[in-house]
Amino acid sequence: MKFLLSLLNFQFYHNPVNDWGIALGIIVFSLLFARVFYWMVSKSLSWLSRNTNTKIDDLIIQRIDTPIAMGIVLIGIRSALKFLEFPLVVERYVHRGFVMMSALTVTWLVTRIVRAIIENQYKKYAEEENVKVDEQMLLFIKRASLILLWSMGAVVGLNNAGVDVSALIAGLGIGGLAFALAAQDTVKNLIGGLIIFFDKPFHMGDVIQVKEFQGTVIYIGMRSTRIRNAAGRIITIPNAQFSDSGIENITVEPTRRVATVINLSPEIQADKVKEAIALVNDVIKKVAGVFHDDADTYVEKFSGASIDVSVIYFIQKGNNIHQKQNEVNLAILQRFQQAGIPLANALQNGK
């Protein structure tokens, strides 16, 4: 018995073994309590979340288990250390470490909640817009938010722990400025990717034109966008071009404007020119999928080589543009042959 008492009173690093045992017991208890506490809370919150129509609460509950458990363990460790006495220098470092770990644990909890919200909103956006979720863009947004939140958490933790954060930031600022200058093109591409995500000028599968490039969007990334042109070639466009140039979304146009020039023989009589214009207008009215209300047919110019008749009409969205042009052109050619209206040369189409 005396041996046990002497062992418990034995001094080890400024504290008796008895106090070390109490501190260890508090830590072990905090570990067990953290697990039991989370199990009870998660069961209760899961039951409540099943009665709601949203999924965001389910995602948050699934993400906050480890940070909450870590917070309870930190409280237990801090409470255990209060039973022990340390030199002033050690006590100061213990306090700073606890403050820093507490700030990082809170940051960990916040980042998990933010990630759950981002994933839920991104999925909701994809379902509402009926587009495929771009995993690379989602990864970029999550990483950007994590870097921002962890940076803020580290600054708050270091500041409360007694570290001169302003001097540290000033020292890092010079290196950050050099890095920013070297990576400005990459930053511009990332900003362009964010513009595509938030402004939604186009979606996957849309036909767009940017500067001299035109094609179908097959990939939207955080640094670049890929389109497939009419020849089947893949064109990679840096996203920075979308922030400083116009984007023509051909898919969302209500109609496609078609302008056709018919070159009649210069020897044709004026009455035959009028008949040609009437025949063209009649063809446009009879071809399905072509708007005739806004169509316009007129003599643009004439010379010794030909009499040029301009024809402008609009094809409804959803129709095959080339097939409709072919249908209109063949119908006009057939009607001209039947009426004996001579052409100077072949039809020339332009948009």
Average pLDDT over residues 302-323: 85
- Has residue 331 been placed in a domain? yes
Decide if 291 is inside a domain. yes
- Is 189 within a domain? no
* H helices, E strands: number in the chain: 11, 11
- Give the residue, 95 or 258, on which the prediction is more confident: 258
In a domain, 36, yes or no: yes
Tell me the pLDDT band of 330, cut-offs 50, 70 and 90: very high
- Domain count for the chain, please give it: 3
**Could you tell me if 29 and 122 lie in one domain?**
yes
pTM of this structure: 0.46
The one-letter code for the residue type at 97 is G
Is pLDDT of 118 > 50?
A: yes
| Distances in whole angstroms, Cα of residue 311 to Cα of each of 142, 257, 266, 285, 300 | 53, 11, 18, 13, 9
Q: Out of 162, 183, 209, pick the residue that ends a domain.
A: 162
Residue 279: what pLDDT? 92
Q: Mean of the pLDDT values across residues 288-297?
A: 82
User: Has residue 331 got a pLDDT over 70?
Assistant: yes
Residue 74 confidence (pLDDT): 82
Lowest mean pLDDT among 77-91, 230-244, 313-327: 77-91
**Same domain, yes or no, for 312 and 274?**
yes
Task: Say whether both 276 and 242 belong to one domain.
Answer: no
pLDDT the model gives residue 278: 92
For the segment 3-8, the average pLDDT, to the nearest whole number, is 50
- Assess whether 233 and 125 both reside in one domain: no
The residue among 119, 143, 162 that closes a domain is 162
- CA–CA distance, 237 with 139 (Å, rounded to integer): 20
Does the residue 184 lie in any domain?
Answer: no
**pLDDT by residue (tens digit) across 26-46?**
878 887 877 777 677 666 666
Q: Which two tokens stand for residue 136?
A: 């690379």
Q: Are residues 98 and 201 in the same domain?
A: no
What is the rounded CA–CA span in Å between residue 10 and residue 195? 67
177 inside domain: no
pLDDT-based confidence at 346, cuts 50/70/90?
A: very low
Q: Which domain holds residue 156?
A: 2-162
CATH number for position 317: 3.30.70.100
> Which one is predicted more confidently, 11 or 287?
287
Give yes or no: residues 26 and 146 share one domain.
Answer: yes
CA angle in degrees (0–180, nearest 5) for 197-198-204: 35
Contact 92, 54 (CB under 8 A): no
pLDDT of the residue at 126: 60
145 within a domain of the structure (yes/no): yes
Q: Which of 260, 218, 210, 279 is nearest to 240 (CA)?
A: 210
- End-of-domain residue from the set 222, 249, 276: 249
pLDDT at residue 224 is higher than 50: yes
Q: Answer whether residue 280 is part of any domain.
A: yes
Residues 151-209 have pLDDT tens digits of 888 877 777 777 766 665 665 555 555 555 555 666 777 777 777 777 778 877 888 88
Give me the percent of the chain exceeding a pLDDT of 70: 73
Q: Indicate if 94 and 21 belong to the same structural domain.
A: yes
Domain match, 243 and 283 both: no
Q: Are residues 218 and 134 in the same domain?
A: no
Which residue, 177, 202, 172, is CA-closest to 187? 177
pLDDT of residue 26: 80
Question: Is residue 270 domain-shared with residue 122, that is, in the same domain?
Answer: no
Does residue 131 share a domain with residue 42? yes
Mean pLDDT of all residues belonging to the chain: 76
- What does the pLDDT read at residue 49? 58
Same domain membership, residue 29 and residue 145: yes
Burial of 350 by CB count in 10 Å (0-12 exposed, 13-18 middle, 19+ buried)? Answer: exposed
